[in-house]
Amino acid sequence: MRRNPIRQRWAEGKPASNLWIDIGWPVTVEALGRLAYDSYTIDMQHSLIDRATLVPLLQALSLGQGAPMVRVTQNDPGEIAFVLDAGAYGVICPTMETPEECARFVAACDYPPRGNRSWGPLRGLMYGGADYFDAYAGEILRIALIETRLGMQNLEAIAATPGLDMIYLGPNDLGVSWGAKPSYTPNHPEVDKAMDQVAAVAKKYGIAAGMHAASPAVARAAVQKGYGLVSLGYAAKIMFTAAGALLQEAFGK
């Protein structure tokens, strides 16, 4: 089966980079996929990307070397199975708050006896390889997104879920849950504390820690704390910022 570049980085003792894809145009995603990111996460929750749009984006990413991952809209077994069948090598499930929710999520990612996923990975088989059934469990990533106060309260119980590969900190929504304004970087003392807690709990339970880090400084801090996956921003925002900087430099506006 095709190897997961994120797991390869971890095997080398190195953290993995990730770019958040919130643009639904395949040619743009194909261009971004030519960069040296270790992974790309297609966001179905906070974008205009639906099931019909998703597959061409996964196909575009397959021309590059990064692992294709998807943040699903919710903890729905049908949707989770769909993105895996379409060729996703990782699933990020939003708003994970209890160990029971996490157990349902992990079960939806795996075939019996580990879980309850139904067999039929049409494109996943073509992208992953003929030995998909035998090797998928050690390549795909099951990632729980922690982004609420309740999720942090249940962090250890969630991290202890058998089969879970990563707990992923969402600093934006977590800050909002503490009364802060939305921000792409940590902007509340409880979010700063959560950065340390997620890293420590992940290490305790032998799984990886991941997080959004929309600035190089936050990314470096996350790596220093032991995070194994760091997302370096949203594609649409990065393109908007870069285009604006060029306009300002050339025309002063």
Q: State the Cα–Cα distance between residues 144 and 127, nearest whole angstrom.
A: 24
Cβ count near 233 (within 10 Å): 18
Walk me through the domains of the chain, giving residue ranges and CATH numbers.
5-251 (3.20.20.60)
Q: What are the residues whose beta carbons fall under 8 Å from the beta carbon of 222, sequence distance 6 or more? A: 195, 211, 213, 230
Instruction: Tell me the sheet residues that pair with 70.
Output: 42, 91
Cβ count near 99 (within 10 Å): 17
Q: How far is the CA of 109 from the CAs of 2, 179, 193, in angstroms?
A: 18, 34, 30
213, 249, 241: which is closest to 16 by C-alpha? 213
Tokens of 27: 């040619």
Whole-prediction pTM value?
0.96
Quickly list DSSP for 165-182: -EEEE-HHHHHHHTTPPP
Q: Which of 2, 3, 46, 203 is catalytic?
A: 46
- Does the annotation mark 212 as catalytic? no
Radius of gyration of the chain (CA): 18
The pLDDT profile of the chain, 253 residues, written as one tens digit per residue, is 999 999 999 999 999 999 999 999 999 999 999 999 999 999 999 999 999 999 999 999 999 999 999 999 999 999 999 999 999 999 999 999 999 999 999 999 999 999 999 999 999 999 999 999 999 999 999 999 999 999 999 999 999 999 999 999 999 889 898 888 877 666 688 889 999 999 999 999 999 999 999 789 999 999 999 999 999 989 999 999 999 999 999 999 9
Cβ count near 189 (within 10 Å): 11
Q: State the Cα–Cα distance between residues 106 and 120, nearest whole angstrom.
A: 18
